[in-house]
Amino acid sequence: MGLDQYVTLGRSGLRVSPFCLGTMTFGQDWGWGSPVEEACRVMDAFMAAGGNFLDTANIYTKGHSEKIIGDHVGRHPAKRDRLVIATKFLGNMYPGDPNGGGAHRKSLIGACEQSLRRLQTDWIDLYWMHFWDHLTPIEETMRALDDLVRAGKVRYVGFSDTPAWKCAQAQTLAEFRGWSPVIALQIEYSLVERTVENELMPMARELGMGVTPWSPLKGGVLSGKYTRANKDAVEPSRGQWVKNHLTERNLSIVDALLRVAAEAGATPAQVALAWVQARPGVASTIIGASTVDQLRDNLGALEVRLTPGQTAALDEASAVPATFPQSFLPYVKNNVQGGTTINGVASEPWHLAPRTEAERW
């Protein structure tokens, strides 16, 4: 599978590449990241390989990430028209201004106008709510987003980092009102972070939201650079943050990752990316790249095919316990199915069920 083997995003006809280029590191305004020239080379290499999906946010590198994208591709119609450019609202760019951020109408529409200016485009292909704003009624957010779609300034709507119950409420409201639906869900998902499998992943599949995982390498923890052997000697570029995530559980996952990578003839990072991209419900995984070489290494994950045994080994090493009610529901199978087999799932008669007509009241 190559970067030009496109997939439709959620319950929509929007075609995106199987990897999305995350641009949070475009610009050095936060004290780290890619200089402008390298960021442009990364975009060019991504597009040359067939990639068409870029992800940014209004707050990334203080707005510079959007500006870099706008300068390099937004102002050039031939490049811009072929791209799916996604950005996010909600982050506050104006300290001291209570309306400078949020998912309410004033902030949302203002943020959209500012992103359009920085991106140097007339429309945003996919507009994400960056995270849940518990201060704003969701109907206000969904109506404002629908207004932007109807005005032609936004083409599609997505949610990021929002509880499953709130996503479900928003989607149901949009369907009932005839507003633009949420077609995509951006959440953290990796071998290290699998708790999303309890609620968010099944919700997204049921309600037509294509999942775009962020941090599939957990900030470098799954890159293969940090192992039991060197975890105390190597100083990660992100310092204490990475060290804090080199827990016993995560190191056990890295152990399994290294074994599978050796078997598959791939790098640990490629295997970790291949694992998450193959998960049910995942549409396009967001990859970050500070350099062209790093981008090319990550793109190699699209050629990795894990065997069932290799996938099972990674699943076992990274498994997380189910939360309620998922932890309870498997035990009601016999009660529900009455000893029959449905969709290939067998059951036994519930031991407390009546066995004869005479026992039924």
Which pair of structure tokens corresponds to residue 1? 């599978």
pLDDT for residue 210:
98
How does pLDDT run across 279-299, given as a tens digit for each residue? 999 999 999 999 999 999 999
Average pLDDT for 14-36: 96
Average pLDDT for 191-197: 98
- What residues contact residue 31 under an 8 Å CB cut-off, 6+ apart? none
What's the one-letter identity of residue 319?
A
- Is pLDDT at 237 greater than 70 in this prediction? no
All structural domains of the chain, each given as residue ranges with its CATH number in brackets, are 7-323 (3.20.20.100), 328-361 (no CATH)
What's the one-letter identity of residue 295?
L
HEC sequence for 260-306: HHHHHCCCHHHHHHHHHHCCCCECCEEEECCCHHHHHHHHHHHHCCC
For the entire predicted model, the pTM comes to: 0.95
- What residues contact residue 37 under an 8 Å CB cut-off, 6+ apart? none
Residue 60 and residue 66 in contact, taking contact as beta carbons nearer than 8 Å: yes
pLDDT for residue 236:
57
Pick left, alpha or beta for residue 27 (phi over 0 → left; psi -120 to 50 → alpha; otherwise beta). Answer: left
pLDDT for residue 239:
67
Q: Supply the residues annotated as catalytic.
A: 60
Residue 286's alpha-carbon distances to 24, 65, 186, 187, 238, in angstroms, are 11, 16, 9, 10, 19
Distance CA 57, CA 64 (A): 10
Residue 156 and residue 125 in contact, taking contact as beta carbons nearer than 8 Å: yes
Which of 57-66, 155-164, 235-244, 334-343 bottoms out in mean pLDDT, i.e. has the lowest?
Answer: 235-244
How does pLDDT run across 311-331, given as a tens digit for each residue? 999 999 999 999 999 999 988
Task: With residue 256 as reference, give the H or E element that holds it.
Answer: helix 248-264
Average pLDDT score, the chain = 95
